[in-house]
Amino acid sequence: MSNADFMAGLRADAEPGSHPGFDSPRVSGQPDKLLLTGATGFLGAYLLDEWLRQTGVTAYCLVRAPDTAAAQARLRLQLDRCGLWSDDRAGRIIAVPGDLARPQLGLDAAQYARLAEEIDVICHNGAWINALLSYQDLKPVNVEGTRAILRLAGEVRQKPLHYVSTLALFFGTGHTRQTLTETDVPVLDEGLRGGYKQSKWVAEQLVRNAGLAGLDTTIYRPGRILGHSHSGVNTNLQDIFCIILKACLKLGSYPAMDTVIDITPVDYISRAVVHLASSESRRTGEVFHLHNPTPVPWNQLMEMVRDLGYPLRPLPEEAWHSEVRRRSSAQAGESFFRQLRLLLRSPIYLFSPDKPLYCGEMTLNRLAEAGIVCPRVDAELLATYVGYLKDCGFITVDSNP
């Protein structure tokens, strides 16, 4: 398949289907029952915690599992790992075994009908995040799963849909070095490489098209999500930033790069999403950018790590890549550097000098009214992050890199 045909296929996948429920009456008043997808993921666990903290909802959590007991166990395990489990709120959490990649969300007819009747609001955060997989690999979960959620949103009565997208949709060549606001629409072009970004572009377009067809939708685009700002807890250690930080510490060096890094604590994003979603001033069709308004220069970030007591020397980018290749080849028993080599060959955007900048002034103003402010990336926050990564065993520094 040619690249042009592939792009045409993505656009075709983003075309809206028929949604007869989008012209039905909308749920009014404060919601009582929430459907949350992706609650066993990193951001999802914190979203669940914030929905329970900020609102009075009972949360129905769609969990990929064969039965209710397994779904409950997965959900409890992730909440425990994040330090978020509370026996006092257990009765407001209902695990629903299902699967975004299966027809009707993997639910039988009775389960599906019950959700369609009872749910008042949907927060669709579930997605398969993998930088190495193709669009076709990720399409069943990320695209068809979103399509299934949209159908459910229109069944019986219209339910507001809050969709968690990503700022990575702007990583195509059409947005090179632009300053983007919440009103900008991500452009699909051949520069938007990588199955995850492509699948999320299609999914967001499906949500946008559903909004144009009458569904009450809100879109949230987070930036790079890292650990909790106070505890440092991070259960997404496969994030490319975490992997590269680990490599830098193992090698005792870092690639000197003239770029900036967006690091946004998970607790800020989750608190912001739920506040905006439950605000009485919320209007349908809004889009919010949830990123750190003060991105940090990469070289400055590495200097802060060095100040924590980790010896790091700057290297030209290609020399650092050569070090990664050397370790990958020299240590056959160590899979970490082989994995890193694959990631560095994939279309990641962490170090690109052509990244766009984001202006989320409207989002920031709305959050400031509620006293929700994104923490700055400073020495204290970085010490919290590195301390957690060390305590959990993710970071181990070789004595002779």
Residue from 81, 78, 77, 93 nearest 36 by CA: 93
What's the CA gap between 318 and 316, in Å, rounded? 6
Task: Name the superfamily (CATH) of residues 3-226+263-290.
Answer: NAD(P)-binding Rossmann-like Domain (3.40.50.720)
CA dihedral of 249, 252, 256, 262, whole degrees rounded to 10: 10
Q: C-alpha 312: how far from its chain's center?
A: 30
Q: Model-level pTM? A: 0.94
Element (H, E) at 61: strand 58-64
Q: What is the pLDDT along the chain (401 residues), one digit of tens a residue?
A: 788 899 999 999 998 876 656 777 776 678 899 999 999 999 999 999 999 999 999 999 999 999 999 999 999 999 999 999 999 999 999 999 999 999 999 999 999 999 999 999 999 999 999 888 999 999 999 999 999 999 999 998 899 999 999 999 998 888 988 899 999 999 998 889 899 999 999 999 999 999 999 999 999 999 999 999 999 999 999 888 999 999 999 999 999 998 899 999 999 999 999 999 999 888 999 999 999 999 999 999 999 999 999 999 999 999 999 998 888 887 554 678 888 887 787 655 677 778 888 988 999 999 999 999 999 999 999 999 999 999 999 998 653 33
Contact 122, 34 (CB under 8 A): yes
Domain parsing of the chain, residue ranges: 3-226+263-290
Work out whether the CA dihedral 346, 358, 370, 162 comes out positive or negative: negative
Element (H, E) at 64: strand 58-64
Phi then psi for residue 304, to 5 deg, are -65, -40
With H, G, I as helix, E, B as strand and everything else as coil, classify residue 260: strand
